[in-house]
Amino acid sequence: MLVEAVVDVRNEPEGVEAAAVRAEQEGYSGVGVPETQHDVFVALALAARATESITLNSAIAVAFARTPMTLAMAANDITLISKGRFELGIGSQVKAHIERRFAMPWSSPAARMEEFVSAMRAIWDAFASGERLSFSGEFYSHSLLTEIFSPGPNPYGNPPVLLAAVGPRMVEVAGRVTDGIMCHPLTSRAYLSDAILPTLREARGGSLDGFTVSMPAFVVLGADEDARAKALAGTRRQLAFYASTPAYKPVLDAHGWGDLHVTLNKLSRQQAWDEMAGLITDEIVDAFAVGGTPDEVADGLHARFDGLATRVSLNTPYDADPELVLATATALRAKG
């Protein structure tokens, strides 16, 4: 099982660059760069120039804030700069952000995403072959790519495409047209094994050989009792936020916690974050997080995801001690 580092969402592009260098030095197999306050591809370009061997991925780039052409070109450039070490992680975001923050269209997200990826691959094929670009679909059409605007063949090929997916329809899309899935942190072992993986296998004709399953796992780490209590509180708060989001309700439904989502969703509109966190029971925490010493957390993650996920990252929604995070990652890597 590979262990990947994740950059703090608050990092500016130069901070991402430094974090990627540090992750490479610390032995991580890859580093995921979120897109929140800054353009993910600017940060990835800096990280690619500053590193030599570590895999870099966008975790995630907002697909529907872009067109297939703009994303195809950005991904092609990062692949060039990184000399083939880039993985394109994409996701849909949610309707409110796409329409109200990005002023872009939203409809039929699963069908739109499948067409988006297909269009992007058609564009890459046109880059490589020099043949006429001709893609026509329900949501996207691309029919113009003159020589001056084509970057031409990429010596490193196209980057693998990984799709963030939770619900069954988007998981099916991941299985049909992408090279891997980026699971959400609100993913339990049960939901991964009983819902996501069977859907992926069916979409891919029965086999997941060569398909990446990336799992960001909540971990609760602290050097002393006070630090562990703060880590647990931060984890409860983040779980409550995710559980209040309609897009992630299928996970709660699978555990019989659908009514909790309704309550949390109402409270979120009142910004009652402390009250929401108080509704996250120990049972819920245990379903989505592993806590303890670095060795105990590594043991727990290995037992939970070995044979299910191809790689794991450590999700710490609190100010975690970097030494404890590294010790956990090192212990987990040692398990193979």
Domain count of the fold of the chain: 1
Q: In this predicted structure, what is the pLDDT of residue 10? A: 78
Beta-ladder partners of 219? 290
Taking residues 156-162, what's their average pLDDT?
A: 98
The verdict on residue 202 lying in a domain is yes
Q: What is the pTM of this model?
A: 0.94
The verdict on residue 53 lying in a domain is yes
pLDDT at 327 over 90: yes
pLDDT in tens, 28-69: 999 999 999 999 999 999 999 999 999 999 999 999 999 999
Containing H/E element for 113? helix 109-129
pLDDT at 9 over 80: no
Q: In this predicted structure, what is the pLDDT of residue 1? A: 81
pLDDT in tens, 184-240: 999 999 999 999 999 999 999 999 999 999 999 999 999 999 999 999 999 999 999
Beta-ladder partners of 61? 90
Are the CB atoms for 311 and 333 separated by under 8 Å? Answer: no
Per-residue pLDDT band at 76 (split at 50, 70, 90): very high
Per-residue pLDDT band at 14 (split at 50, 70, 90): very high
The verdict on residue 269 lying in a domain is no
User: CB within 8 A of 296, min separation 6: which ones?
Assistant: 290
Per-residue pLDDT band at 294 (split at 50, 70, 90): very high
Which segments of 138-224 does DSSP mark as H helices, in order?
168-177, 189-191, 197-203
Q: What is the CATH number of the domain that holds 183?
A: 3.20.20.30
The verdict on residue 295 lying in a domain is yes
Strand bridging mode 141-142 / 135-136: antiparallel
The verdict on residue 197 lying in a domain is yes
Q: In this predicted structure, what is the pLDDT of residue 11? A: 81
The verdict on residue 250 lying in a domain is no
The verdict on residue 174 lying in a domain is yes
Taking residues 73-81, what's their average pLDDT?
A: 99
Per-residue pLDDT band at 275 (split at 50, 70, 90): very high
Comparing CA positions, the residue from 51, 53, 26 lying closest to residue 326 is 26
Per-residue pLDDT band at 329 (split at 50, 70, 90): very high
Of the ranges 135-139, 187-191, 243-247, which one carries the lowest mean pLDDT score? 243-247
For the chain, the average pLDDT equals 96
The verdict on residue 31 lying in a domain is yes
Domain membership of residue 180 as a residue range: 2-222+289-333
Q: In this predicted structure, what is the pLDDT of residue 249? A: 92
Are the CB atoms for 328 and 314 separated by under 8 Å? Answer: yes
